[in-house]
Structure 1
Amino acid sequence: MTGRPWLGLAAGAVAFAAGLAAVWPLASAVLAAPASSRPAWPATAQPLVVQEVLSGDSVVFTSTRTGPQVSDLGTITVRLIGIDAPNFPTSRECYAEESQAALAAMLPEGSIAWVVTDEVLQDEGGRWLGYVWSGEGDFVNDVLVANGIVRPYEMAPNEAFWPILAQSAEEAFRRSAGLWSACS
Protein backbone atom coordinates (compact mmCIF):
# COMPACT_ATOMS: atom_id res chain seq x y z
CA MET A 1 0.00 0.00 0.00
CA THR A 2 2.92 2.38 0.34
CA GLY A 3 3.27 2.94 -3.42
CA ARG A 4 -0.41 3.58 -4.18
CA PRO A 5 -0.62 7.25 -3.01
CA TRP A 6 2.17 8.13 -5.45
CA LEU A 7 0.32 6.33 -8.21
CA GLY A 8 -2.69 8.57 -7.56
CA LEU A 9 -0.52 11.69 -7.65
CA ALA A 10 1.06 10.62 -10.93
CA ALA A 11 -2.36 9.92 -12.45
CA GLY A 12 -3.55 13.34 -11.24
CA ALA A 13 -0.57 15.06 -12.86
CA VAL A 14 -1.24 13.29 -16.16
CA ALA A 15 -4.92 14.26 -15.99
CA PHE A 16 -3.99 17.89 -15.25
CA ALA A 17 -1.63 18.01 -18.24
CA ALA A 18 -4.26 16.47 -20.51
CA GLY A 19 -6.84 18.96 -19.22
CA LEU A 20 -4.48 21.87 -19.85
CA ALA A 21 -3.90 20.70 -23.41
CA ALA A 22 -7.64 20.33 -23.97
CA VAL A 23 -8.44 23.78 -22.59
CA TRP A 24 -5.57 25.52 -24.30
CA PRO A 25 -4.11 23.39 -27.12
CA LEU A 26 -1.21 25.76 -27.83
CA ALA A 27 0.28 25.12 -24.40
CA SER A 28 1.33 21.62 -25.40
CA ALA A 29 2.45 22.76 -28.88
CA VAL A 30 4.72 25.49 -27.57
CA LEU A 31 6.18 23.35 -24.82
CA ALA A 32 6.75 20.46 -27.24
CA ALA A 33 9.00 22.48 -29.54
CA PRO A 34 12.41 20.81 -29.87
CA ALA A 35 14.99 23.09 -28.29
CA SER A 36 18.09 21.14 -29.31
CA SER A 37 18.36 22.80 -32.72
CA ARG A 38 17.79 26.31 -31.42
CA PRO A 39 20.61 28.63 -30.41
CA ALA A 40 21.17 29.51 -26.78
CA TRP A 41 21.06 33.20 -25.99
CA PRO A 42 24.31 34.98 -26.82
CA ALA A 43 26.62 36.11 -24.04
CA THR A 44 25.77 39.71 -24.92
CA ALA A 45 22.03 39.20 -24.32
CA GLN A 46 20.50 41.67 -21.91
CA PRO A 47 18.00 40.61 -19.23
CA LEU A 48 14.70 42.51 -19.22
CA VAL A 49 11.58 42.03 -17.07
CA VAL A 50 8.35 41.17 -18.91
CA GLN A 51 5.63 43.70 -18.17
CA GLU A 52 2.97 42.87 -20.76
CA VAL A 53 2.53 40.97 -24.02
CA LEU A 54 0.81 43.30 -26.48
CA SER A 55 0.44 40.89 -29.41
CA GLY A 56 2.09 37.82 -30.86
CA ASP A 57 5.17 39.85 -31.82
CA SER A 58 5.39 42.79 -29.37
CA VAL A 59 6.24 42.85 -25.67
CA VAL A 60 6.53 45.62 -23.10
CA PHE A 61 9.57 45.16 -20.87
CA THR A 62 11.11 46.98 -17.94
CA SER A 63 14.77 47.79 -18.41
CA THR A 64 16.35 48.21 -14.98
CA ARG A 65 19.81 49.06 -16.28
CA THR A 66 21.44 50.01 -19.54
CA GLY A 67 23.32 47.28 -21.31
CA PRO A 68 25.00 46.19 -24.51
CA GLN A 69 21.66 45.77 -26.29
CA VAL A 70 19.18 48.32 -24.89
CA SER A 71 20.39 51.72 -23.75
CA ASP A 72 17.03 52.97 -22.40
CA LEU A 73 15.90 52.63 -18.80
CA GLY A 74 12.32 52.09 -17.69
CA THR A 75 9.48 50.84 -19.86
CA ILE A 76 10.35 49.83 -23.42
CA THR A 77 8.47 47.99 -26.17
CA VAL A 78 10.27 45.32 -28.17
CA ARG A 79 9.08 44.09 -31.57
CA LEU A 80 10.41 40.58 -32.19
CA ILE A 81 12.65 40.45 -35.25
CA GLY A 82 11.91 38.04 -38.08
CA ILE A 83 8.30 37.28 -37.24
CA ASP A 84 4.90 38.69 -38.09
CA ALA A 85 1.95 37.87 -35.86
CA PRO A 86 -1.64 38.29 -36.97
CA ASN A 87 -3.01 41.70 -35.94
CA PHE A 88 -5.78 42.74 -33.61
CA PRO A 89 -7.82 44.38 -32.08
CA THR A 90 -8.76 46.46 -35.11
CA SER A 91 -8.74 43.79 -37.81
CA ARG A 92 -9.02 40.54 -35.80
CA GLU A 93 -6.91 38.52 -38.20
CA CYS A 94 -7.03 34.75 -38.02
CA TYR A 95 -4.82 33.39 -35.21
CA ALA A 96 -4.23 36.80 -33.54
CA GLU A 97 -5.52 35.72 -30.14
CA GLU A 98 -3.69 32.40 -30.30
CA SER A 99 -0.38 34.07 -31.15
CA GLN A 100 -0.70 36.55 -28.28
CA ALA A 101 -1.63 33.74 -25.86
CA ALA A 102 1.33 31.61 -26.96
CA LEU A 103 3.78 34.48 -26.52
CA ALA A 104 2.28 35.32 -23.11
CA ALA A 105 2.69 31.67 -22.06
CA MET A 106 6.37 31.77 -23.02
CA LEU A 107 6.96 35.17 -21.43
CA PRO A 108 4.73 35.43 -18.35
CA GLU A 109 4.38 38.79 -16.65
CA GLY A 110 7.24 39.41 -14.22
CA SER A 111 9.55 36.84 -15.78
CA ILE A 112 13.03 37.58 -17.08
CA ALA A 113 13.67 37.43 -20.82
CA TRP A 114 16.97 37.84 -22.63
CA VAL A 115 17.08 40.26 -25.56
CA VAL A 116 19.59 40.73 -28.37
CA THR A 117 19.36 43.48 -30.98
CA ASP A 118 20.68 43.45 -34.56
CA GLU A 119 21.89 46.06 -37.09
CA VAL A 120 18.86 48.38 -36.83
CA LEU A 121 18.02 48.92 -33.16
CA GLN A 122 14.58 50.54 -33.41
CA ASP A 123 11.73 50.78 -35.88
CA GLU A 124 10.18 54.04 -37.14
CA GLY A 125 7.73 53.97 -34.23
CA GLY A 126 10.48 53.88 -31.61
CA ARG A 127 10.04 50.22 -30.67
CA TRP A 128 13.22 48.30 -30.00
CA LEU A 129 13.79 45.40 -32.39
CA GLY A 130 15.03 42.21 -30.81
CA TYR A 131 15.51 38.49 -30.68
CA VAL A 132 14.13 37.16 -27.40
CA TRP A 133 14.91 34.12 -25.26
CA SER A 134 12.73 33.03 -22.38
CA GLY A 135 14.17 32.53 -18.91
CA GLU A 136 14.15 28.80 -19.69
CA GLY A 137 16.44 29.37 -22.66
CA ASP A 138 13.90 28.97 -25.48
CA PHE A 139 14.54 31.12 -28.56
CA VAL A 140 11.06 32.66 -28.54
CA ASN A 141 11.10 34.06 -32.10
CA ASP A 142 11.93 30.60 -33.47
CA VAL A 143 9.59 28.58 -31.25
CA LEU A 144 6.67 30.75 -32.42
CA VAL A 145 7.60 30.25 -36.09
CA ALA A 146 8.33 26.53 -35.67
CA ASN A 147 4.86 25.94 -34.24
CA GLY A 148 3.05 27.94 -36.92
CA ILE A 149 1.95 30.53 -34.38
CA VAL A 150 3.39 33.41 -36.43
CA ARG A 151 4.71 33.82 -39.96
CA PRO A 152 8.34 34.57 -40.77
CA TYR A 153 9.07 38.15 -41.77
CA GLU A 154 12.43 39.12 -43.23
CA MET A 155 13.53 42.44 -41.74
CA ALA A 156 16.72 43.32 -43.64
CA PRO A 157 19.33 44.21 -42.54
CA ASN A 158 18.29 42.52 -39.26
CA GLU A 159 18.98 38.98 -40.43
CA ALA A 160 21.33 37.42 -37.88
CA PHE A 161 18.92 34.54 -37.23
CA TRP A 162 16.94 34.64 -40.50
CA PRO A 163 18.23 31.26 -41.82
CA ILE A 164 16.98 29.55 -38.63
CA LEU A 165 13.58 31.28 -38.79
CA ALA A 166 13.13 30.56 -42.50
CA GLN A 167 13.96 26.86 -42.00
CA SER A 168 11.52 26.59 -39.08
CA ALA A 169 8.80 28.30 -41.12
CA GLU A 170 9.27 25.89 -44.01
CA GLU A 171 8.98 22.92 -41.66
CA ALA A 172 5.86 24.38 -39.96
CA PHE A 173 4.27 25.00 -43.36
CA ARG A 174 4.95 21.42 -44.47
CA ARG A 175 3.34 20.10 -41.28
CA SER A 176 0.40 22.52 -41.64
CA ALA A 177 1.10 23.61 -38.08
CA GLY A 178 -0.95 26.28 -36.37
CA LEU A 179 -2.04 29.14 -38.60
CA TRP A 180 -0.85 27.29 -41.70
CA SER A 181 -3.90 25.02 -41.37
CA ALA A 182 -6.25 27.27 -39.42
CA CYS A 183 -6.03 30.32 -41.68
CA SER A 184 -6.59 30.25 -45.43
Structure 2
Amino acid sequence: MRLKNFITPLLISVLLLTGCSPTTSTETEQTVSPFPSVNEGENSSSQDITSPTPSVTPAQSPQSISQVLGAQTTMVTAVIDGDTIEIEGGQRIRYIGINTPETVDPRKPVECFGREASSKNKELVAGKSVRLEKDISETDKYRRLLRYVFIGNVFVNDYLVRQGYAYASSYPPDVKYQNQFNQAEREAKTNSRGLWSACSSTSTTNTPQTATTPPSTNGSNCDPSYPTVCIPPSPPDLDCPDITYRRFKVLPPDPHRFDGDHDGVGCES
Protein backbone atom coordinates (compact mmCIF):
# COMPACT_ATOMS: atom_id res chain seq x y z
CA MET A 1 0.00 0.00 0.00
CA ARG A 2 2.79 2.37 0.85
CA LEU A 3 4.57 1.47 -2.42
CA LYS A 4 1.44 2.15 -4.44
CA ASN A 5 0.97 5.49 -2.79
CA PHE A 6 4.54 6.40 -3.70
CA ILE A 7 4.51 5.25 -7.37
CA THR A 8 1.26 6.92 -8.33
CA PRO A 9 2.37 10.50 -7.52
CA LEU A 10 5.71 9.76 -9.22
CA LEU A 11 4.05 8.73 -12.49
CA ILE A 12 1.83 11.79 -12.42
CA SER A 13 4.86 14.03 -11.96
CA VAL A 14 6.68 12.40 -14.89
CA LEU A 15 3.66 12.83 -17.15
CA LEU A 16 3.32 16.48 -16.21
CA LEU A 17 6.97 17.18 -16.85
CA THR A 18 6.87 15.47 -20.28
CA GLY A 19 3.81 17.36 -21.55
CA CYS A 20 5.11 20.75 -20.52
CA SER A 21 8.64 20.47 -21.85
CA PRO A 22 9.42 22.87 -24.87
CA THR A 23 9.88 21.50 -28.39
CA THR A 24 13.52 20.83 -29.05
CA SER A 25 13.36 20.56 -32.85
CA THR A 26 12.60 23.51 -35.13
CA GLU A 27 11.42 23.47 -38.74
CA THR A 28 13.44 25.48 -41.24
CA GLU A 29 11.64 26.99 -44.33
CA GLN A 30 13.48 26.21 -47.55
CA THR A 31 13.53 28.84 -50.38
CA VAL A 32 14.42 27.84 -53.99
CA SER A 33 16.14 30.61 -55.88
CA PRO A 34 15.44 30.97 -59.65
CA PHE A 35 19.16 31.67 -60.19
CA PRO A 36 22.00 29.22 -59.66
CA SER A 37 23.92 29.83 -56.44
CA VAL A 38 27.57 30.78 -56.54
CA ASN A 39 29.78 29.78 -53.64
CA GLU A 40 31.58 32.63 -51.99
CA GLY A 41 35.15 32.93 -53.11
CA GLU A 42 34.51 30.89 -56.26
CA ASN A 43 35.71 32.53 -59.46
CA SER A 44 32.68 33.32 -61.60
CA SER A 45 34.63 32.41 -64.72
CA SER A 46 34.68 28.79 -63.61
CA GLN A 47 30.90 28.51 -63.89
CA ASP A 48 29.61 26.22 -66.61
CA ILE A 49 27.10 28.55 -68.27
CA THR A 50 25.60 27.37 -71.54
CA SER A 51 24.46 30.17 -73.84
CA PRO A 52 21.78 29.53 -76.46
CA THR A 53 23.16 28.96 -79.95
CA PRO A 54 22.30 31.97 -82.14
CA SER A 55 20.34 31.24 -85.31
CA VAL A 56 22.33 31.90 -88.46
CA THR A 57 20.53 33.39 -91.46
CA PRO A 58 22.22 32.32 -94.70
CA ALA A 59 23.56 35.21 -96.70
CA GLN A 60 21.46 36.03 -99.74
CA SER A 61 22.98 34.62 -102.89
CA PRO A 62 24.36 37.38 -105.10
CA GLN A 63 22.81 37.91 -108.51
CA SER A 64 24.41 35.95 -111.30
CA ILE A 65 26.57 37.79 -113.79
CA SER A 66 23.97 37.09 -116.47
CA GLN A 67 21.24 38.80 -114.45
CA VAL A 68 23.44 41.80 -113.73
CA LEU A 69 24.20 42.21 -117.41
CA GLY A 70 20.54 41.89 -118.39
CA ALA A 71 21.10 38.49 -119.99
CA GLN A 72 19.53 35.09 -119.44
CA THR A 73 21.13 31.65 -119.38
CA THR A 74 18.94 28.79 -120.56
CA MET A 75 18.96 25.37 -122.23
CA VAL A 76 18.17 24.89 -125.93
CA THR A 77 15.61 22.12 -126.34
CA ALA A 78 15.07 22.30 -130.12
CA VAL A 79 16.46 23.95 -133.25
CA ILE A 80 13.69 25.10 -135.60
CA ASP A 81 15.87 26.36 -138.46
CA GLY A 82 19.01 28.39 -139.04
CA ASP A 83 17.90 31.44 -137.06
CA THR A 84 15.22 30.16 -134.67
CA ILE A 85 15.48 27.91 -131.61
CA GLU A 86 13.27 26.74 -128.76
CA ILE A 87 14.35 26.87 -125.12
CA GLU A 88 13.19 25.16 -121.94
CA GLY A 89 9.63 26.16 -121.18
CA GLY A 90 8.68 26.05 -124.86
CA GLN A 91 9.52 29.68 -125.72
CA ARG A 92 10.92 30.28 -129.20
CA ILE A 93 13.88 32.58 -129.83
CA ARG A 94 14.47 34.47 -133.09
CA TYR A 95 18.08 35.55 -133.64
CA ILE A 96 18.39 39.32 -134.01
CA GLY A 97 20.10 40.95 -136.98
CA ILE A 98 20.47 37.94 -139.27
CA ASN A 99 18.40 35.91 -141.71
CA THR A 100 19.08 32.38 -142.91
CA PRO A 101 17.57 30.75 -146.02
CA GLU A 102 14.08 29.35 -145.40
CA THR A 103 13.49 25.66 -144.69
CA VAL A 104 10.22 25.46 -142.71
CA ASP A 105 7.94 28.14 -144.22
CA PRO A 106 5.02 26.19 -145.76
CA ARG A 107 4.46 29.00 -148.26
CA LYS A 108 7.94 28.70 -149.74
CA PRO A 109 10.21 25.99 -151.10
CA VAL A 110 13.38 25.14 -149.19
CA GLU A 111 15.90 27.80 -150.16
CA CYS A 112 19.50 27.31 -151.20
CA PHE A 113 21.77 26.54 -148.24
CA GLY A 114 18.82 26.51 -145.84
CA ARG A 115 19.39 22.93 -144.69
CA GLU A 116 23.09 23.59 -144.19
CA ALA A 117 22.29 26.65 -142.06
CA SER A 118 19.84 24.65 -139.93
CA SER A 119 22.38 21.85 -139.48
CA LYS A 120 25.11 24.27 -138.43
CA ASN A 121 22.80 26.00 -135.96
CA LYS A 122 21.88 22.60 -134.50
CA GLU A 123 25.55 21.67 -134.23
CA LEU A 124 26.27 24.90 -132.37
CA VAL A 125 23.46 25.05 -129.81
CA ALA A 126 21.20 21.96 -129.69
CA GLY A 127 20.92 20.57 -126.16
CA LYS A 128 23.38 23.13 -124.81
CA SER A 129 23.26 25.99 -122.34
CA VAL A 130 23.30 29.38 -124.06
CA ARG A 131 23.26 32.99 -122.95
CA LEU A 132 20.55 35.22 -124.41
CA GLU A 133 20.96 38.97 -124.70
CA LYS A 134 18.12 41.39 -125.41
CA ASP A 135 18.35 44.55 -127.51
CA ILE A 136 15.34 46.91 -127.57
CA SER A 137 12.34 44.83 -128.61
CA GLU A 138 11.09 41.95 -126.48
CA THR A 139 9.28 39.90 -129.12
CA ASP A 140 8.35 39.92 -132.80
CA LYS A 141 4.80 39.71 -134.15
CA TYR A 142 4.92 35.92 -133.85
CA ARG A 143 5.60 36.33 -130.11
CA ARG A 144 9.10 34.91 -130.44
CA LEU A 145 11.70 36.43 -128.13
CA LEU A 146 14.22 38.53 -130.05
CA ARG A 147 17.71 37.80 -128.75
CA TYR A 148 21.42 37.65 -129.46
CA VAL A 149 22.72 34.17 -128.64
CA PHE A 150 26.08 33.24 -127.12
CA ILE A 151 27.56 29.85 -126.27
CA GLY A 152 30.87 30.01 -124.46
CA ASN A 153 32.95 32.55 -126.37
CA VAL A 154 31.00 32.09 -129.62
CA PHE A 155 28.59 34.82 -130.69
CA VAL A 156 26.20 32.60 -132.65
CA ASN A 157 24.49 35.38 -134.67
CA ASP A 158 27.86 36.69 -135.86
CA TYR A 159 29.27 33.21 -136.51
CA LEU A 160 26.43 32.21 -138.83
CA VAL A 161 26.87 35.37 -140.92
CA ARG A 162 30.68 35.29 -140.92
CA GLN A 163 30.81 31.66 -142.04
CA GLY A 164 28.29 32.18 -144.84
CA TYR A 165 25.23 30.49 -143.31
CA ALA A 166 23.19 33.69 -142.94
CA TYR A 167 22.74 37.20 -144.27
CA ALA A 168 23.08 40.31 -142.15
CA SER A 169 19.56 41.71 -141.91
CA SER A 170 18.71 44.95 -140.12
CA TYR A 171 15.44 45.24 -138.20
CA PRO A 172 15.36 48.58 -136.35
CA PRO A 173 15.33 49.41 -133.50
CA ASP A 174 17.32 46.24 -132.68
CA VAL A 175 20.62 47.24 -134.28
CA LYS A 176 23.16 47.03 -131.44
CA TYR A 177 25.53 44.75 -133.39
CA GLN A 178 24.41 45.56 -136.93
CA ASN A 179 27.70 47.13 -138.04
CA GLN A 180 29.48 44.00 -136.81
CA PHE A 181 27.09 41.76 -138.77
CA ASN A 182 27.52 43.85 -141.92
CA GLN A 183 31.29 43.51 -141.63
CA ALA A 184 30.92 39.75 -141.06
CA GLU A 185 28.85 39.44 -144.22
CA ARG A 186 31.44 41.33 -146.28
CA GLU A 187 34.11 38.97 -144.96
CA ALA A 188 32.05 35.89 -145.85
CA LYS A 189 31.30 37.19 -149.33
CA THR A 190 34.92 38.19 -150.01
CA ASN A 191 36.08 34.71 -149.03
CA SER A 192 33.21 32.93 -150.85
CA ARG A 193 32.07 31.12 -147.73
CA GLY A 194 28.93 29.03 -147.47
CA LEU A 195 25.97 30.33 -149.43
CA TRP A 196 28.16 32.90 -151.19
CA SER A 197 29.75 30.11 -153.19
CA ALA A 198 27.11 27.35 -153.03
CA CYS A 199 24.20 29.42 -154.32
CA SER A 200 24.92 30.62 -157.85
CA SER A 201 22.22 33.30 -157.72
CA THR A 202 23.53 34.77 -154.46
CA SER A 203 24.78 38.31 -154.90
CA THR A 204 24.56 41.66 -153.20
CA THR A 205 20.99 41.96 -154.45
CA ASN A 206 20.00 38.88 -152.43
CA THR A 207 21.12 40.41 -149.16
CA PRO A 208 18.00 41.41 -147.17
CA GLN A 209 17.65 45.12 -146.60
CA THR A 210 15.31 47.27 -144.59
CA ALA A 211 13.23 49.49 -146.83
CA THR A 212 12.64 52.95 -145.41
CA THR A 213 12.25 55.16 -148.50
CA PRO A 214 11.33 54.24 -152.05
CA PRO A 215 14.22 53.98 -154.51
CA SER A 216 14.55 56.25 -157.50
CA THR A 217 12.14 55.12 -160.18
CA ASN A 218 10.00 56.46 -162.94
CA GLY A 219 6.99 54.84 -161.24
CA SER A 220 5.64 53.15 -164.35
CA ASN A 221 6.87 49.68 -163.35
CA CYS A 222 6.14 49.90 -159.61
CA ASP A 223 3.12 48.05 -158.27
CA PRO A 224 0.93 50.38 -156.12
CA SER A 225 0.44 47.62 -153.54
CA TYR A 226 3.98 48.39 -152.33
CA PRO A 227 4.09 52.20 -152.03
CA THR A 228 7.40 52.53 -150.16
CA VAL A 229 9.44 50.38 -152.56
CA CYS A 230 9.53 49.75 -156.28
CA ILE A 231 8.47 46.21 -157.12
CA PRO A 232 7.21 45.39 -160.62
CA PRO A 233 3.65 44.11 -160.99
CA SER A 234 2.82 40.46 -161.55
CA PRO A 235 3.55 38.54 -163.73
CA PRO A 236 6.07 37.21 -163.10
CA ASP A 237 5.17 36.18 -159.56
CA LEU A 238 7.93 37.14 -157.10
CA ASP A 239 8.85 35.77 -153.67
CA CYS A 240 10.79 37.49 -150.88
CA PRO A 241 14.13 35.87 -151.88
CA ASP A 242 13.70 37.44 -155.33
CA ILE A 243 13.80 41.02 -154.01
CA THR A 244 16.13 43.08 -151.84
CA TYR A 245 13.53 44.72 -149.62
CA ARG A 246 12.42 43.68 -146.13
CA ARG A 247 9.67 44.89 -143.80
CA PHE A 248 7.97 47.23 -146.28
CA LYS A 249 4.38 48.48 -146.40
CA VAL A 250 1.87 46.29 -148.24
CA LEU A 251 -1.59 47.32 -149.49
CA PRO A 252 -4.31 45.11 -151.02
CA PRO A 253 -4.49 43.24 -153.30
CA ASP A 254 -0.79 42.25 -152.76
CA PRO A 255 -0.42 40.37 -156.07
CA HIS A 256 2.93 38.83 -155.06
CA ARG A 257 1.59 37.69 -151.66
CA PHE A 258 4.52 39.21 -149.77
CA ASP A 259 2.26 39.81 -146.75
CA GLY A 260 1.44 36.21 -145.85
CA ASP A 261 -0.04 37.02 -142.43
CA HIS A 262 -1.98 40.10 -143.65
CA ASP A 263 -0.55 42.53 -141.12
CA GLY A 264 0.39 45.15 -143.73
CA VAL A 265 4.14 44.39 -143.66
CA GLY A 266 5.90 42.38 -146.35
CA CYS A 267 8.90 40.03 -146.20
CA GLU A 268 9.50 40.24 -142.47
CA SER A 269 12.05 37.44 -142.17
Give the TM-score normalised by structure 1: 0.68
Find the partner of 1:92 among 110, 117, 125.
110
Find the partner of 2:96 among 81, 89, 113.
81
1:48 deviation in Å? 1.1
Q: For 1:41-56, what aligned pairs fall within 5 Å after superposition?
A: 43-56=69-82
Unaligned segments of structure 2, at least 5 residues: 1-65, 202-269
- The structure 1 segments of at least 4 consecutive aligned residues displaced by more than 4 Å after TM superposition are none
Q: For 1:22-171, what aligned pairs fall within 5 Å after superposition?
A: 43-62=69-88, 74-89=89-104, 90=106, 91-109=109-127, 111-134=128-151, 136-171=152-187
Residues 97-136 of structure 1 show CA distances to partners (whole Å, capped at 9, x for unaligned) of: 1000000111022x100001111110001000000001x2
Q: Counterpart amino acid of 1:182?
A: A
Q: Greater share of helix residues, 1 or 2?
A: 1
Q: Counterpart amino acid of 1:80?
A: Y
Unaligned segments of structure 1, at least 5 residues: 1-40, 63-73
Task: Tell me the distance in 1 between the aligned counterparts of 2:131 and 2:146.
Answer: 13
Residues 73-108 of structure 1 show CA distances to partners (whole Å, capped at 9, x for unaligned) of: x22100000110111134110011100000011102
SS in 2 for 1:54: strand
1:44 deviation in Å? 2.7
Cα RMSD (Å) of the superposition? 1.4
Give the TM-score normalised by structure 2: 0.47
Higher relative contact order (CA 8 A, sep 6+): 1
SS in 1 for 2:75: strand
The alignment covers a number of residue pairs equal to 131
SS in 2 for 1:123: coil
The structure whose Rg is larger is: 2
